[in-house]
Amino acid sequence: MGCIVDGCPAGMILDTDIIQADLDRRRPGSTTLGTKRNEPDELEILSGVYEGRTLGTPIAMLVKNKDARSRDYDKIAKVFRPSHADYTYAARFGHRDPRGGGRASARETVARVAAGGVARQLLDQMSSIQVVAWVDQVGTLVASVDTDKVLRSDVDKFPVRCPDENAAQAMQIHIEEARKARDTVGGVIGVVARNVPAGLGAPVFEKLDATIAAAMMSLPAAKGVEIGSGFSACLATGSTHNDAFVTTEDDSIRTQTNHSGGIQGGISNGMPILARVGFKPVATHFLPQQTVTTDGEATTFTATGRHDPCVLPRAVPMIESMLLLVLADAALAARIATL
């Protein structure tokens, strides 16, 4: 897997250890609750960096697969797996490689996380923006998280990557029970971006919340995005939902509440950006399923191989990376918005 990051300014200090740390959190085998596949996901930078600084030219990065087992897919090469992209890819392209999920596989997210590691350092050097994600919900189990204070070290204390200890323990049990039942579960990841300056984003077609939603929904298994109060705003009134403006001690303008999730009119308002992303249960479970073959004949199949019973713990760095990439683009664009 690989990626090319274009548009990164020259002269930025790039620490490959920071990128590798992000990759290590995402890699298969990084958590006891995930797949038994074990990939080292060692980063190689092929271009765009010299003596630890970016050159302003495209940054090419590569991560080699070490533990792939194409033979695991031999028995289902002519089967359309339910809730996978097998059928839709065949309908779109007419020809597909059945060994794995191709570009629909979560394996492609290793490239996103590598690119997010570049964006993380760019934002830190530009404006000290910090992005932290965590598992906020598994099934019906919901965590209680202080979004103003949560740190990545808090998130990584538990294999499920939830900083709420009581919720984390219950979530882990729930995931392990699903694995024993040969089934899978879904849930929600929360993410916060702190120290975001006001003025990022653009009206109408490049609204910050719209680009965030598009980035999150491009992730495998993502099924919904909430910004700020999200769907709960549908139950509120304007008088209870509006965020009143106040002036802080340093003469900055902020809001008393943050129902807007840090974005108003598609532009950041200086408050923390808050989002939640819902993920469906992993489509590959190990119970018998009804489907059809590539010839349209009804059949029953049972999946084999090494798959996550819950995508959420490994999706945490993916969510961080997508928000970092969106904010990096927005921060660079804001520099040319005014004279």
pLDDT tens, position by position, 28-57: 877 778 777 778 999 999 999 999 999 999
CA distances from 313 to 30, 99, 281, 286, 339 (A): 9, 25, 13, 20, 43
Position 16 scores a pLDDT of: 97
Task: Summarize the confidence of residues 146-158 as an average pLDDT.
Answer: 97
Classify domain 67-334 at the CATH class level: alpha beta
What residue segments make up the domains of the chain, in order of their start?
67-334
The pTM score is 0.94
Task: Provide the pLDDT confidence category of residue 100 given band limits of 50, 70 and 90.
Answer: confident
Distance (Å, whole) CA 331 – CA 127: 9
As a whole number, the mean pLDDT across the chain is 94
Distances (CA, A) of 140 to 151, 185, 329: 24, 10, 35
Residues counted in the chain: 339
pLDDT of residue 73: 73
Q: Look at residue 35 in the predicted model and tell me its pLDDT.
A: 74
- Say what percent of the chain tops pLDDT 90: 84
Nearest to 332 by CA among 8, 1, 6: 8
Asked which of 80-89, 185-194, 257-266, 300-309 is least confident by mean pLDDT, the reply is 300-309
